[in-house]
Structure 1
Amino acid sequence: MSDVVAELAVDTSCEGDAKPAAQSPEKSAKQFSVYEATSEELIERSMAPIKKEFLCPPPSRAGKQNEAADVKAPQSGLVLEKKSKRQLKRERREKSAINLCPQIARTEDVNSCQYKEKCRFNHDIEAFKAQKPDDIEGQCPFVASGMKCAYGLSCRFFGTHKDIAGNSAGEENSEINFFNKDTQRLLWKNKMTFIKADAKLKSLGLLGHAKKSNAAEENNAEKTQNGANDAQSTDVAVDSAVSSEPLSEMIEDVEIPGPLETAEVRPMKKAKSEDKETSKPGDVNGGVKVEEETEKNGHSTSKSEVEDEDSIKIVETDASLKLHLREKKKLIDFRDKLYLAPLTTVGNLPFRRLCKVLGADVTCGEMAMCTNLLQGQASEWALLRRHSSEDMFGVQICGSFPDTVSRAVELIDRECTVDFIDINMGCPIDMVVNKSAGSALLNKPTRMKNIVEVSSSIVETPITIKVRTAFFEGKNRIDSLISDIGNWGATAVTIHGRSRQQRYSKSADWDYIYRCTKNASSNLQVIGNGDVYSYLDWNKHKSDCPELSSCMIARGALIKPWIFTEIKEQRHWDITSGERLNILKDFVRFGLQHWGSDTKGVETTRHFLLEWLSYTFRYIPVGLLDVIPQQINWRPPSYFGRDDLETLMMSESAGDWVRISELLLGKVPEGFTFAPKHKSNAYDRAENG
């Protein structure tokens, strides 16, 4: 292994004209020199104070010209034009020799497939073996865990299956929250009932034409806020928006009054777009009749039924809805627990398993869009998958309207096993904000209240929310809402100390988080978020504000997931390159067990490994720093590591990330391309809510 690493690391060393591991920032007009500057001067410029012996020597004039030529030259083989979804689907359906029938791959019997010649996969075992890529070095991840590999002949570690020949029992899958096919069909046909959610929405006047008046009031409140001349008037407008609610919204858990309005109820058309999230007046549960509760739903018998002119049955929810919100909630305690943030793309199940091994206490799945869940999209439901090692696990959802979010909450509570449900009201991504979700809800406090109140009142699972300080920079508003959020029914709130407009361009405002925490009600747990990158950061926030329940760790865990170990052991871990490689091996093993050990699973694991490596290269080993700990916004000058593997791991080149993946998953396929999704090498553009 060491010989291979040494060979691959040649391009990243600092000798001669080779490209350094990390590019130095542009020099200022004063010709600032990192070789002569003190540590204090470097830190003032947000540069990492690397020990002088690890700095690359100044390049010669010829070296600079070669380096400039390298920068101008395109990175061949990394970014190519993507194929359309239709083209990819067509290629998958082609009966090529490499696409062996999964049933035949498991049994090695050509007669085992029930579809016979109608099967869209190949049944020629010999042709498949002739085109199958060589096995990858190492042991099958399922065999290593004492299980029988379900991928059989198609497994890229097939040669190691002989170790458990004759063992057909295997081990049960350690993942739960699989998407039920019957539930998916009901969602596809718009026949799923949401009895609790619709009853609560009806009691608050958020169904039918009552929604128009609520929307008009939100618009009036928004106009008032936009007309404010300064931050103080903006905060007053927020307070008035929260208090100026229709009478129906001030009454909590009222009885359902007789029949529905006479508004026409029409069947809801299937959404044209997966991500389209709309709500039309007059729609009741998508136009589907609320039927009697089935045994499958597992709800108790309803108290009474009333019928309107169209014979639509409305089932009044059980008496538990009449209890005070906090009296019927399950208890969950975030205090002093290490909380791994829900992370887009990289916060997948294998990465969460890895963080659990390294010391994380609380994990949360990637953000799922409510509209996609309610449309029965399997890819979105896969984000709710849970591993048995995640003993304190929640899911995060995002939606625009109370009806969409509350129905998704009821469905998740019915179909999945989770410890809490987090509603994202802080996601800064344009695609989410343009749908009036995520950070856009910060401009609509009345809608925030309705979403939390309805969702928390229909399930016993604790409801938490995640917010930013504000939508616009300089117009913070969470401090004016924090005292009411607990009364809405939320168990906890996570405050990211930045505005949506700010994104990640400045440091998180922890003083503002402390102020909000001290103003929160005693029944609301407050969790801080932003720039936690060492155990000293964790200790400081907890000591500066004892009322703070915990700190959520996001980018710090992406760059160095062993931060959880550092906090628990109260030390700066000068981790070696070999130890980091072992962590990558664990991720690959978890990934192959989750996505599969066949060719498709291997390449899916490789893709998510590369996405993660686009963050980890920013880690600077403790032994290379003059001042510790490293700050999350430090940019390093050109430097090299203590060995070839460490130098390779700190490279910002996507080509070097691919080389690291080849150490663990074998050679990439011909024509392989990769471009990081979140462009995290810009240091200030991370797309996590």
Structure 2
Amino acid sequence: MNGVEAPVATAAFEPSSEDAIPLPEPQAAPPNPEELVAKAIAPVKAEFLRPPPSRSRSDGAGEKNSVSSNVVKEKKSKRQLKRERQQEQKSATHICSEVAKLGKVDACRYGAKCRFSHDLDAYLAQKPADLEGTCPFIIVKESCPYGLTCRFASTHSEGVIVEDENTPKQKFEINGLNKDLQRLLWKNKVSFPKSSAQLKLLGLSGGYGSKTNSDANQEESHPDSVNGSSNVQEHNDNDMPCTSVSELESSSTVCMDKDPLDDESAIDDLRPSKRAKNPIDDKFNSSDINGTCPVEKDSVKLDGQLEEKQNYSVCSVKLDPSLKPHVREKKLIDFRGKLYLAPLTTVGNLPFRRVCRALGADITCGEMAMCTNLLQGQASEWALLRRHSSEEIFGVQICGSYPDTVARTVELIDRECAVDFIDINMGCPIDIVVNRGAGSSLLTKPMRMKGIIQAASGTVDQPITVKVRTGYFEGRNRIDSLISDIKTWGGTAVTIHGRSRQQRYSKLADWEYINLCASKAPDNLQVLGNGDIFSYHDWNMHISDCSKLSSCMVGRGALIKPWIFTEIKEQRDWDISSTERFDILKDFVRFGLQHWGSDNKGVETTRHFMLEWLSYTCRYIPVGLLDVIPQRINWRPPSYYGRNDLETLMASDSAADWIRISEMLLGKVPEGFSFAPKHKSNAYDRAENG
């Protein structure tokens, strides 16, 4: 009324308690880096953090996946599977390799009897489009062995191979399985005189189930074994008159309880196949020390061309036990200060080892191979022994349950392969291995450990190394009590993984216990530590903490960032760019195509193993994105943006994004393609106590 506004009755506008809009609560301050590290969460800088992607299973894709997972696949008989394979071989997609290589229908010597298709027009009509880039064999100035089936066939005309003495010889792969040897292994016609003589010397030659009195109370009976008799005497390689291998085959009994070609598993039943009595081995059962044995002289030069192998023959040799080398005369490898890439299942293949070798690894070792599978001539298992000539110090790792199978395996490897050392795995935690008395189950059977190491070291001149864990059960370490014995038994080096079998990866490695074991080791036994090395800081700390530690083995750290070897040698935290990381993937693809092949099958095999590797590399966090350096291997990375789109894509833990990266290098995936990683690489804190 007087120009002054009446006060507003605010009570009339107050909302009821039911309609009240809650005020936003004050947000808590983001945790500081120290708090994140205490929780094993990687302290990524705040400006790179992003909300985790929503992955609800309620969408259409999730419903589709859940329905498909409940579908029971039809179980097919072996006969039906064999019929489908034969029909598939006759299809146009399975063109004869000789026809494809030369591009001529009449190139195959089998003609109409060939199991594969000779229809070039039909094959070319359905062949996938060529990939971008140049044939990996043309790059190294070799003729492509895949011809028309090569996914880079359009570039073959660009690289004409001209033989020139001045052209440097390209690096190559060795340690392949000879077909003649494979047939003899299938038929159980390979004798092992050195290992049998050593087993007899140790009192283990009275049959495959025999054991010394000291072992009788601890060891169970031995199942039937494979290949060779236990009463074959040792021999030396002298030039003596030889008879043909056909005489050997005619005098031997063939016994196979299953076709090795039907066995497609990488790790099969460790139980050896049954065998018939071999008449050839009976010749060694007398007191005479003369005998015959099939011998292949494998001359391989890593710095030159691969020499041709001589044909198999049966050589008559006179044996002299005094020629047996003393343990001190064995070849030795100095592991001190050298960067050792651990033998890694699935991902530790030859192309990956070549990548690590180029980035600074000094010593490489093949994937674990099962002794019984090698003795049965399985090509898939022998592929694990392949070596590239760029691997200067190379070893193979084998796994077996009993002294006789391990001794025969090391003799076979020593005879057929070019290796610098043989590592015996006594720490594998996989159930299928442990349940059959191999791997880490040997940690509970010290007398069998003794028999295996003694039999192996006494059979060959190659250094025998052993890889173990701290023990079988959590909290019950026992390797420190055996460390001196390992040298007495014949081991030249031992690698200790600082975890028990039961623990798996649920906790960090126990380096204090590794140092305790190294301090108890004799001076002439080299001890290497293994576990959680993820930066040059970790390497320096472990080496400086124990002066008796010869070196360290790098495993998962190399899977996540293979340039760790460069960091250790250059003593720096490498803030590697996404482009440099992508170049490393390019190298892997090139090495993979050269190893597995540049045809469609080789391309998809390379893709599969690259995807397995990407399931580890996604755990790497670039140095420039961290508040605390260096990254620890047990840190769980949060969801974050990279500094560019490629770096963001590489940080994804989604298999769909890994497939996108593979398509950038190997083209589109086939229709209906799916991938699930074999290893649980993102189960950082899950206790896997199986």
Normalising to structure 2: TM-score of the pair?
0.80
Give the secondary structure class of the aligned counterpart of 1:94: helix
Give the secondary structure class of the aligned counterpart of 1:183: helix
- Equivalents in 2 of 1:64, 1:353: separation in Å? 38
Listed one character per residue, the Cα deviations across residues 169-211 of structure 1 (whole Å, up to 9, x for unaligned) are 8966600011111211111111111001001111211122594
Q: Is 2:40 the counterpart of 1:46?
A: yes
Give the secondary structure class of the aligned counterpart of 2:118: coil
- Equivalents in 2 of 1:139, 1:34: separation in Å? 55
Residue correspondence of structure 1 range 225-236 to structure 2 within 5 A: none
Aligned to 1:558: 559
- Equivalents in 2 of 1:213, 1:529: separation in Å? 33
- Equivalents in 1 of 2:55, 2:355: separation in Å? 43
Aligned to 2:125: 130
Q: Is 2:174 the counterpart of 1:176?
A: yes
Give the conservation status (yes or no) of the 8 Å contact 2:44–2:626.
Answer: yes
- Equivalents in 2 of 1:499, 1:101: separation in Å? 50
Residue correspondence of structure 1 range 29-40 to structure 2 within 5 A: 36-40=30-34
Match of 2:320 among 311, 318, 321: 318
- Structure 1 residue 162 displacement after superposition: 1.2
Aligned to 2:199: 201
Match of 2:282 among 283, 286, 289: 289
Aligned to 2:470: 469
- Equivalents in 2 of 1:290, 1:464: separation in Å? 33
Aligned to 1:683: 684
Q: Is 2:137 the counterpart of 1:142?
A: yes
Match of 2:97 among 102, 105, 109: 102
Question: Aligned-pair RMSD on alpha carbons?
Answer: 3.3
Give the conservation status (yes or no) of the 8 Å contact 1:51–1:625.
Answer: yes
Give the conservation status (yes or no) of the 8 Å contact 2:470–2:478.
Answer: yes
Give the conservation status (yes or no) of the 8 Å contact 1:678–1:686.
Answer: no
- Equivalents in 1 of 2:194, 2:645: separation in Å? 60
**Segment of structure 1 superposing worse, 669-678 or 405-414:** 669-678
| Paired residue type of 2:547 | P
Give the conservation status (yes or no) of the 8 Å contact 1:187–1:376.
Answer: yes
Change (3 A) 1:278 1:129: closer
Change (3 A) 1:108 1:611: same
- Equivalents in 1 of 2:54, 2:471: separation in Å? 45
Aligned to 2:302: none
Q: How many residue pairs get matched?
A: 597
Change (3 A) 1:351 1:210: closer
| Paired residue type of 1:194 | F
Residue correspondence of structure 1 range 396-407 to structure 2 within 5 A: 396-407=397-408
Q: Is 2:113 the counterpart of 1:118?
A: yes
Q: Is 2:217 the counterpart of 1:220?
A: yes
Aligned to 1:241: none
Aligned to 1:347: 348
Match of 1:191 among 186, 189, 193: 189
- Equivalents in 2 of 1:388, 1:355: separation in Å? 14
Give the secondary structure class of the aligned counterpart of 1:423: strand
Give the conservation status (yes or no) of the 8 Å contact 2:368–2:384.
Answer: yes
**Segment of structure 1 superposing worse, 122-131 or 412-421:** 122-131
- Equivalents in 2 of 1:354, 1:662: separation in Å? 20
Give the secondary structure class of the aligned counterpart of 1:103: helix
Change (3 A) 1:547 1:284: farther
- Equivalents in 1 of 2:687, 2:599: separation in Å? 31
Give the conservation status (yes or no) of the 8 Å contact 1:97–1:122.
Answer: yes
| Paired residue type of 1:520 | A
Larger radius of gyration: 2
- Equivalents in 2 of 1:78, 1:656: separation in Å? 22
- Equivalents in 2 of 1:33, 1:532: separation in Å? 38
Aligned to 1:372: 373
| Paired residue type of 1:36 | P
- Equivalents in 2 of 1:329, 1:389: separation in Å? 24
- Equivalents in 2 of 1:428, 1:632: separation in Å? 20
Aligned to 1:244: none
Change (3 A) 1:67 1:194: closer
Q: Give the helix-richer structure, 1 or 2.
A: 1
Give the conservation status (yes or no) of the 8 Å contact 1:78–1:654.
Answer: no
Give the conservation status (yes or no) of the 8 Å contact 1:503–1:685.
Answer: no
- Structure 1 residue 575 displacement after superposition: 0.7
Change (3 A) 1:315 1:53: same
Give the secondary structure class of the aligned counterpart of 2:158: helix
- Equivalents in 1 of 2:451, 2:56: separation in Å? 60
Q: 5+ residue gaps in structure 2?
A: 1-24, 221-233, 235-251, 285-290, 299-314
Listed one character per residue, the Cα deviations across residues 218-237 of structure 1 (whole Å, up to 9, x for unaligned) are 473489xxxxxxxxxxxxxx
Q: 5+ residue gaps in structure 1?
A: 1-30, 224-252, 254-265, 300-312
Give the conservation status (yes or no) of the 8 Å contact 1:533–1:563.
Answer: yes
| Paired residue type of 1:135 | D
Listed one character per residue, the Cα deviations across residues 81-132 of structure 1 (whole Å, up to 9, x for unaligned) are 6997874883464311122211111111111110111112211111111111
- Equivalents in 1 of 2:55, 2:416: separation in Å? 61
Listed one character per residue, the Cα deviations across residues 388-408 of structure 1 (whole Å, up to 9, x for unaligned) are 000100000000000000000
- Structure 1 residue 536 displacement after superposition: 0.3
Identity of aligned residues (%): 62
- Equivalents in 2 of 1:685, 1:569: separation in Å? 34
Normalising to structure 1: TM-score of the pair?
0.80
Aligned to 2:523: 522
| Paired residue type of 1:289 | D
Give the secondary structure class of the aligned counterpart of 1:367: strand
| Paired residue type of 2:190 | M
| RCO higher in structure (CA 8 A, sep ≥6) | 1
Give the secondary structure class of the aligned counterpart of 1:99: coil
- Structure 1 residue 148 displacement after superposition: 1.3
- Structure 1 residue 473 displacement after superposition: 0.7
Give the conservation status (yes or no) of the 8 Å contact 1:178–1:382.
Answer: yes
- Equivalents in 2 of 1:74, 1:420: separation in Å? 51
Give the conservation status (yes or no) of the 8 Å contact 2:256–2:273.
Answer: no
Give the conservation status (yes or no) of the 8 Å contact 1:618–1:650.
Answer: yes
Give the conservation status (yes or no) of the 8 Å contact 2:339–2:362.
Answer: yes
- Equivalents in 2 of 1:334, 1:285: separation in Å? 42
- Structure 1 residue 159 displacement after superposition: 1.1
Give the conservation status (yes or no) of the 8 Å contact 1:78–1:673.
Answer: no
Aligned to 2:641: 640
Change (3 A) 1:605 1:504: same
- Structure 1 residue 557 displacement after superposition: 0.3
Give the conservation status (yes or no) of the 8 Å contact 2:366–2:385.
Answer: yes
